[in-house]
Amino acid sequence: MRVFVTGGTGLLGNTILRQLSGAGHDLIALVRGEPDPQVFDGINTTFAHGDLLDQTAIENAVADCDAVIHSAGMIHLGWHRLEESMVVNRDGTQTLVDACLRHDCKLVHVGTVNTLGIADRDSVANEDTPLDHAGGQIPCSYVLSKRAGNEVVLQGVQDGLKAVLVHPGFMLGPWDWKPSSGRMLLEVSKAWRPLSPSGGNSTCDSRDVAAAAIRAAEKLLANEIPSGRQYILAGHNMRYLELWKAMTEAMGAR
């Protein structure tokens, strides 16, 4: 299959490209500037130059593909960049949805578990747990803008789009060039920390998430899964103290 991948310089997008390239698929990767040779070393892909709001670049790439895996996004956990987050995570997704509808292209949209409902202590949440069931992630620019992006995709499904949404947990893995989530690992390794946050997360391997996103695209193309379906791509539920201990043990740090 021929796949257009956004977010190719990020942890998940780069891993998706590597797995697709290794399997011999034809690829187009969206890049905003001149691609870094190190980041794309070993990946056989052509490039579409532009950002998520560049309708011409998006149209040309989508028109030439069977499927899109949309892993690009802006992560900001505070409030100061809400408008910018909405432009990227909502409006950029809208550009892709519109292009996929026009060209009958399948879409795998990468959301996040942060947008989903949270279960109470006596039950287990799934993709369909309503946000008002027991609350949800603490609102911030990232959570609200990613929820808005999900709604754009689900509205596209109502309009005839063939799409699924996948929601990763906290990803760690190789090829985290920026770094993104790997920044936590690096910070924890620098010095002993007397305190950790009281909460936790669902930690998963970015390679597993990439494989699942690719599988979703393949099943969409084969009409083996329903459009509009959402999937949690989670891993091991760990409190931050457990996770930080595992990180420091792996790196021989305190």
> pLDDT tens for residues 182-236?
999 888 888 887 888 888 889 999 999 999 999 999 999 999 999 999 999 998 9
State mean pLDDT over 30-59. Answer: 95
State mean pLDDT over 51-67. Answer: 97
**Given pLDDT bands bounded at 50, 70 and 90, which one contains residue 132?**
low
pLDDT above 60: residue 134: no
* The pLDDT of residue 196: 87
User: Which residue from 78, 7, 13 is spatially nearest to 214, judged by alpha carbons?
Assistant: 13
Any domain includes 184: no
The whole domain housing 151 covers 2-175+202-237
Q: In Å, how far from its chain's centre is CA 136?
A: 19
Any domain includes 245: no
Any domain includes 185: no
* The pLDDT of residue 212: 98
* The pLDDT of residue 128: 85
Any domain includes 250: no
Any domain includes 254: no
pLDDT above 90: residue 30: yes
CA distance 80 to 130: 27
Asked if residue 201 lies in contact with residue 169, where contact means CB atoms within 8 angstroms, the answer is yes
Any domain includes 230: yes
Any domain includes 190: no
Q: What's the mean pLDDT when you consider all of the chain?
A: 93
Q: What is the CB neighbour count within 10 angstroms for residue 15?
A: 26
Q: What is the CATH number of the domain that holds 37?
A: 3.40.50.720
Any domain includes 54: yes
Tally of domains in the chain: 1
Q: Kindly give the pairing relationship between strand 67-70 and strand 46-49.
A: unpaired
CA distance 121 to 128: 17
pLDDT above 70: residue 130: yes
